[in-house]
Amino acid sequence: MKFFPARRLFSIFSNDMAIDLGTANTVVYARNKGIVLNEPSVVAIKIHTKQVLAAGKSAKEMLGKTPENIIACRPLRDGVIADFELTESMIRHFILTVHNDRRTLIRPRMIIGVPSGITQVEKRAVKDSAMQAGAREVYTIIEPMAAAIGAGLPVQEPVGNMIVDIGGGTTEVAIISLKSVVFCRSIRVGGDEMDQAIVHYVKRKYNLLIGEPTAEQIKKDIGSALINEVNAQETIKVKGRDLVTGVPKTITLSAPEVNESLLETIASIIDVVRVALENTPPELSSDLVDRGIVMAGGGSLLRGLDQLIAKETGLPVRVADNPLFCVVNGAGKVLEEMDFFREALME
Ligand SMILES: Nc1ncnc2c1ncn2[C@@H]1O[C@H](COP(=O)(O)OP(=O)(O)OP(=O)(O)O)[C@@H](O)[C@H]1O
Ligand SMILES: [Mg+2]
């Protein structure tokens, strides 16, 4: 009979998981399995009983459409926990979903990606939420570190690795060398702010009120950081409520208009990239000339953003494979190789 060392046996039966608790999306990676859940970070609850009616995609569909006794909301805003209780309910709901097919008494060990600008109090809140939701041990890793690992950058080497993670609520830029963060800056600007900018633009220019989900769709369909001959002609039909007459109305929005509405947010993102470059020690800086900048996060999918950043910085820029999963894949890799990546975890 073959004996497994206790630790190995433990890991076979464990439910250890890595979580990217993002403002926009929550992604869960289970040890030895890979990504097992990818849902919008939205919960719908009954107001009086606090009973969770839905979480994830089905809750997102309810955003802005619920009757009085139900709220559908995003408990994380700007990359941090805005509502502790709801976040906990959401995590618990997702963990139960993941565990549906397995009955086991071993409580999971968890690694959670958190924004680099997180305060001690906020970090405590994330850990408490996970513990309340059933975790045995909770580790945190800052998102740009996880994103760099998930993007496959050689973070363990003595070279400058630059990652720009543009999420829903935050944009984080980090220079990483020898599994440590050399410089890191985070701003509470990301895809959500782009959506809000579109909402404001349409309201100001056309007196038309649209919701954020509609704005997000416009951004994904025809949003672009750069206007060229091809996309200059693109248009999209947008439905909303006329602010003057109060009735539903349809307008046509062009790609250059959407681009105009996004310019301010994009400028903030480019600014933070510049600040990081200015603060990079020269030896690492010279590495970046060849290695360039790697982008991750859903916001990096905005068309033309990589080209614009390349133009503004003079460095090569590329979007990582599966940018929406870099953080969770990186945190998952740390979970699988905990001894090797221990330094990458937060204190
Ligand atoms: N094709 C696309 N074009 C532009 N933006 C996109 C595209 N696909 C997704 N996004 C945006 O990416 C954002 C979500 O990205 P991501 O899942 O990385 O964020 P998050 O990790 O939940 O947020 P954070 O890291 O700030 O907590 C949303 O704002 C979404 O609108
Ligand atoms: Mg993120």
Domain boundaries, the chain: 6-146+327-344, 156-319
pLDDT tens, residue order, the chain (347 aa)? 555 555 544 444 568 999 999 999 999 999 989 999 999 999 999 999 988 999 999 999 998 888 999 999 999 876 677 888 888 889 888 888 887 655 555 788 999 998 888 888 888 888 988 888 788 899 999 999 999 999 999 999 999 999 999 999 999 999 999 999 999 999 999 999 999 999 999 999 999 999 999 999 999 999 999 999 999 999 999 999 999 999 999 999 999 999 999 999 999 999 999 999 999 999 999 999 999 999 999 999 999 999 999 999 999 999 999 999 999 999 999 999 999 999 999 87
- Residue that the structure tokens 């939205």 belong to: 42
Domain 6-146+327-344 matches domain 156-319 at the CATH topology level? yes
Question: Which ligand has an atom closest to residue 24 CA?
Answer: 1
- Residue that the structure tokens 């600007």 belong to: 189
The C-alpha atoms of residue 62 and residue 57 are separated, in whole angstroms, by 9
Q: Ligand 2 mean position to 132 CA, how many Å? A: 22
Q: Which residue is closest in CA terms to ligand 1's atom 21? A: 22
What are all long-range contacts of 281-288, with beta carbons under 8 Å and residues at least 24 apart? Answer: 281/182, 283/160, 284/159, 284/160, 284/175, 284/177, 284/182, 285/160, 286/160, 287/159, 287/160, 287/161, 288/160, 288/162, 288/315
φ, ψ of residue 163 to 5 degrees: the values are -120, 140
Q: Ligand 1 mean position to 319 CA, how many Å? A: 13
Cβ atoms < 10 Å from Cβ of 239: 11
CA angle 140, 145, 149 (to 5 degrees): 110
User: What tokens were used for 308?
Assistant: 């614009």
Q: Ligand 1 mean position to 314 CA, how many Å? A: 25
The C-alpha atoms of residue 204 and residue 198 are separated, in whole angstroms, by 10
Selected from 3.20.20.140, 3.40.50.1820, 3.30.420.40, 2.120.10.30, the CATH number assigned to the domain covering 6-146+327-344 reads: 3.30.420.40
Within 6 Å (CB) of ligand 1, which residues are found? 20, 22-25, 79, 143, 167-170, 190-192, 216, 219-220, 223, 297-299, 301-302, 324
Classified by CATH at the fold level, domain 156-319 comes out as Nucleotidyltransferase; domain 5 (3.30.420)
- Closest atom of ligand 1 to CA, residue 166: 18
Q: Which residue is closest in CA terms to ligand 1's atom 15? A: 298
Q: What is the pTM of this model?
A: 0.92
